[in-house]
Amino acid sequence: AQTVTQSQPEMSVQEAETVTLSCTYDTSENNYYLFWYKQPPSRQMILVIRQEAYKQQNATENRFSVNFQKAAKSFSLKISDSQLGDTAMYFCAFMSYQAGTALIFGKGTTLSVSS
């Protein structure tokens, strides 16, 4: 069975600084997908970034980028130029390659951005 581990329950950062959230996972599959989701206080889950395991290039979305290390089964999220609106809970998630499977989530990291 796949597992996702987020070892940092809480993190804080100042506006404009860079922060990295950690995620490790365990799977015996070779092809799969990894995601970072953001849940602000409004509770609406928002997809931040998606990585396909068979692509070596790290995914980026504006200020958000990942460091995907397949051999180490590590998938960290880097947020550059942090903004107050980045304050949220962040979840790392795994999904198998085949269709019709569910996301498996880590326990989340609460990120607080202060001015």
Which residues contribute to the site for another protein (CB under 8 A)? 6, 9, 32-33, 42-45, 47, 50, 52, 91, 95-108
* Block residue for tokens 């609460």: 110
Residue with Cβ nearer another protein (50 or 70) = 50
Least separation in angstroms between residue 85's CB and another protein is 18
Residue with Cβ nearer another protein (28 or 115) = 28
- Tokens encoding 86: 């980045």
Q: Which amino acid is at 27?
A: T
Dihedral pair phi/psi, residue 26, rounded to 5°: -135, 130
Least separation in angstroms between residue 22's CB and another protein is 14
From the list 101, 99, 90, 68, the residue with the least C-alpha distance to 1 is 101
Residue with Cβ nearer another protein (71 or 99) = 99
Cβ distance 92 to 34 under 8 Å? yes
Least separation in angstroms between residue 78's CB and another protein is 21
